[in-house]
Chains A and B, each alone.
Chain A
Amino acid sequence: MSDSDPQRSARDTILARVREALAVPAPLPHLAHAPAPPAGGLAILPAEAARPWLPDGGDTPEERMRILVDNLGKLRAVVHRVPDLTAAAELVFAVARQRDWKRVAYHDHPLVVPLLAGVPCATHGVDGAAAHGAAAAKDALEACDAGISACEALVSQTGSILVSSATCGGRGLSVVPHVHLVIATADQIVATLADALALVRRRHAGALPSMLSFITGPSRTGDIERILVLGAHGPRELVVVIVG
């Protein structure tokens, strides 16, 4: 109707078209079981309602741990369970030595810093990176063999690791280096995606991090003849160290 009116902004035109289009109501989808939504209401099926239908995340901490470890294994991530941070530091030391890491990237975090105490290679802290100039910071990160980060939560249902730009070393640390090592505590395991989303929203109420990323296994592609290859652009290896 008004498409030819150049005075009218694209926004107004599109919204007017949308309103006009929605004047005729659409039939509900053919559902198998679910109840019809309440008339006029927007919110119909909270994720809570869908929980019993989605894959199981476990009801107890033991179940969640078992499902998580099982899922991570299927995704070809490597899981290590250690009793405390000292043991975690020894593990990181051994891996760094064995892989001959030259440089690892990390961020400031009470779980991450203790791991670097005796690590047998150079380290690169990303936190001050912005101050060093963006280009230099990208190059420095790119030159690292591994990135060590904390996480916001571990999701047993899908075997995912939730990282954020606010508390896990920004956007690049978990995806630029070839190896991503995550350090987490057992009480960070939640059952479902919905639980993880609720948790970060509580934690960052009012100011969501600019990036939240569910990482589910090492980077992969099937673009060549649908054959699975790990390490397409992101890390080829994902190592999850769970403390406690």
Chain B
Amino acid sequence: MIAPHSSPGSHPAPADDDGGHGVAKRRFLRDAAVSAGDEPRRGFIRRALAGYERTRDAQQARFRDYEQARDAASLAKWTAVNHLDELLPRFEAAFTANGGVVHWARDAAEARRIVLDLVHAAGAKAVIKSKCMTSEEIHLNAALEAEGYAVVESDLGEFIQQLRGEPPYHFVFPCMHVRRDEISALFSEHLGSQPTSDPEQLTMIARRHMRRLYVEADVGITGANFLVAETGQISITENEGNARLTAGLPRVHIAIAGIEKVIERVDDLAVLLPMLATAGTGQPLTCYNTLYAGPRRAGECDGPEEMHLVLLDNRRTTLLADAEQRDALHCIRCGACLNVCPIFKNVGGFTYGTTYQGPIGSVITPHLRGLAEWNHLSGASSLCGACSAACPVRIDIHHHLLHNRRNAARTAPDRRERFGHRVFAFVAARPWLFALAGRLGRLTLPLAKRLRPPLLREWLSSRDLPPAPRRSFRSQWRARRGA
């Protein structure tokens, strides 16, 4: 037996549909309340991310002009996304000329079917994977396991999450919420290792465990960070070397990527790769940045016999059709916006209930999975703009959260909210009525605090009302001006 079969039900069953009727929102509110109350875990996350900000700042300082470099990265992605109609066929032709095979998938089900067929055709028993968020998006592991294939995540963080039976907590740092003693206990239970509190020893346990698996796996599945139209190469960024092994040792290499990953020229990488590393982890360049052009060539001593790429739409074209928010497809998934987000730090990654967490997840999920069911994520923002300021490709993230709110209000207006606004407009337009309402409010505020009427109850459950002032602002203003 070569694989730690992840325990049954480890990943949520393939669920491309969200149930509807506000389930996602209720779950969000419940989980947010729990996570926000978990002080120790929040402190742990904050400390981990403080280290991130220090290294990132040091790395940004090495740029001779970081802001202009951001412009260049932003323009490279803008150009690509706005010429996808030309670049996708160009990429396909070049990739095919390199000996690879492109498969197009309209949605998650189609993508799963394609991968399952490829794995089946390869006569595979074991599959090794390196980090691939699109595979999380299409719930690939559950589908492979359901057909009896042993699947192992090779990225350390993903491996830990697989053993824990959880999806990634953060799409760049999958297990950043897990303490080392929890990892030690997990490895003891699943791999029979001795308990240790040394991160290095823990890493070596996983390394030793994985070594045989690379050699024995028949199929390696990876993601892709960039698809280069000019040369038909795919670019994979990683730190551990697990993607190098996954794409290097098995007989068949399958990569899965969203259609928005295409860039025009290989030269764009000279800007995009350093930006991704700097914003993502504060490194000058991630440890391995690898370009693959098809399977092993004649004259090369190793490498896979086949290389496949699954190009996934899964409603990215819906987002593409929204010209106002199209730039959300520029995202290079560096995770910077999560790392600086006050909401992410407080509610944690799982609360979002989405494949892509944090600010960018809140922007794109309503497009990928429906505005009606996911608009509540647009409200999970203080609109502080820290995300937009951190984004290496200048996506206007926090404004898009506002756009989503506006769109939701347009398409499915909340009657109660509308009525409330109308009443307010009526009162505010009549100074005498406004003064009267103010006086009533000041008088009844202490009572409202004590009685907690249903309208205010939820709001009051986590907040305090200020004491009521004795006089209105307007009368104070008049008195002071008089004096």
Contacts and interface: CB of A to CB of B under 8 A. Distances in A.
Q: Is B one of A's binding partners?
A: yes
A55 B62 CA distance: 5
A43 B265 contact: yes
Contacts of A208: 98, 231, 233, 291, 293
A21 B293 CA distance: 29
A231 B99 CA distance: 32
Contact of A171 (B211, B233, B251, B303): B303
B291 A213 contact: yes
Contact of B289 (A10, A27, A214): A214
Contacts of B242: 232-234
A55 B61 CA distance: 9
A99 interface: no
A95 B341 CA distance: 47
A231 B205 CA distance: 12
Interface string B316-332: 01001101101100100
A32 B71 contact: yes
How many interface residues does chain B have, given as a range? 35 or more
A215 B215 CA distance: 22
Contacts of A231: 203-204, 207
B17 interface: no
B269 A19 contact: no
Contacts of B231: 201, 208
A42 B211 CA distance: 44
A135 B285 CA distance: 33
A25 B303 CA distance: 42
A14 B104 contact: yes
B301 interface: yes
Given A25-B82, A193-B274, A209 B297 contact: yes
B76 interface: yes
B119 to A, nearest CB: 18
Contact of B245 (A71, A210, A224, A233): A233
A202 interface: no
A21 B284 CA distance: 36
Contacts of B219: none
Interface string B379-401: 00000000000000111100000
B72 interface: yes
Interface string A111-128: 000000000000000111
Interface string A85-127: 0000000000000000000000100000000000000000011
Interface in A197-244: 197-198, 201, 207-227, 229, 231-235
B287 interface: yes
Contacts of A138: 214-215, 249, 302
A234 B245 CA distance: 8
A220 B70 CA distance: 26
Interface stretch (B139-147, B174-182, B352-360, B451-459): B174-182
Interface string A156-171: 0111100001100111
A54 B207 contact: no
A32 B68 CA distance: 7
A83 interface: no
Contact of B247 (A26, A171, A214): A171
Complex A-B, nearest 3 residue pairs according to Cβ-Cβ distance, in ascending order: A234-B241, A171-B248, A232-B240
Given A29-B74, A34-B68, A52-B65, 6 more contacts: A53-B65, A210-B303, A211-B291, A216-B289, A219-B239, A219-B287
Interface of B: 48, 51-52, 62-72, 74-76, 78-79, 81-86, 88-89, 98-99, 104-106, 110, 154-157, 160, 173-176, 178-180, 183, 199-200, 202-204, 207, 210-211, 214-215, 231, 233, 239-242, 244-245, 247-249, 251, 259, 264-271, 273-274, 281, 283-297, 299-303, 311, 313, 317, 320-321, 323-324, 326-327, 330, 393-396
8 contacts: A21-B317, A22-B83, A34-B68, A165-B302, A175-B288, A197-B267, A216-B289, A219-B239
